Homo-oligomer: A and B are copies of this chain.
């Protein structure tokens, strides 16, 4: 193998493929990055079996071939080399030579035949969606996935297509996040993608309008983003029927400025902090919502103007779940739909009907 290529192009490609190299595997080959040079292009592949990422660049290939090198070391070397043409070629004794200006590295490589083969997926794309929209949809839901592995299916995000609607859904037993977009596809899809995969997908997606192509097989999903392919195993099992959890009716509806409410809740949550969670009480009155919290350190009272339809209510929440949802929402005004102090609270944008957040209340002894 012998290739020459500009440093920056190499660096970007390595940093993409490297996102699949977790360094957590005990198999040494999975700490490597596969470099495959052919037809004046070079493909870099990283994999941790569950998730594989490959990306292709144009390069001057004067000798075809493939090798595997330690992803972290190789990435650091390329990153530290000068901004100039880099030559990479196989040398003697299982090494590759990396030459740039007066720098010359000789790196032990691994056997490419030990590298796991990528699942072969027929790339008849099932549907497409602009990069920035998919990125926003992932960010709007992924925080609500379960962090513990007790119910593995909840560590993923449901990708659902039905009735020309594309829905992303995540829930962890305490709250739920749904984000929807209209999609011009008659397909019907119901698949759960690991949160870990979507974290990396979101990092690779750019804020542009170019399309991501998404293909499903019974066990895998393929994201094609420009010259990059991300293949991930799906989570096994049935996702919770989330629709039955979201109440369709409510007794009272609160309209409130999102940032104002968020700031009040963030301040109130300082007081009752125990680890990552903090209990706050909402006292929903005619024109105001009073937010209080107390602990042995002291107490806090915050007040925010609201428009209330329905009867006043007192309800308590873990502040983190409200904060997570309010932070990621985009409209300046939101509505909260409530029924009682022990029923879930549904949060939506005031105008655009493209997301639904649900948070379970905390039952208080004196309620």
- Which residues of chain A have a CB within 8 Å of any CB of chain B? 70, 73, 76-77, 80-82, 95, 102-108, 263-264, 266-267, 270-271, 296-304
Contact = CB atoms under 8 A, between A and B. Distances in A.
Contact of A302 (B102, B263, B297): B102
B108 A297 contact: yes
A73 B270 CA distance: 7
Contacts of A303: 102-103
Contacts of A70: 297
A188 B106 CA distance: 55
How many copies of this chain sit in the oligomeric assembly?
A: 2
A80 B298 contact: no
A270 B300 contact: no
B108 A296 contact: yes
A82 B271 contact: no
B108 A270 contact: no
Nearest to A294: B106
Contacts of A102: 302-304
Contact of A300 (B103, B264, B300, B302): B103
Contact of A95 (B298, B302, B304): B298
A80 B296 contact: no
Nearest to A296: B108
B103 A298 contact: no
A299 B103 CA distance: 11
A82 B260 CA distance: 10
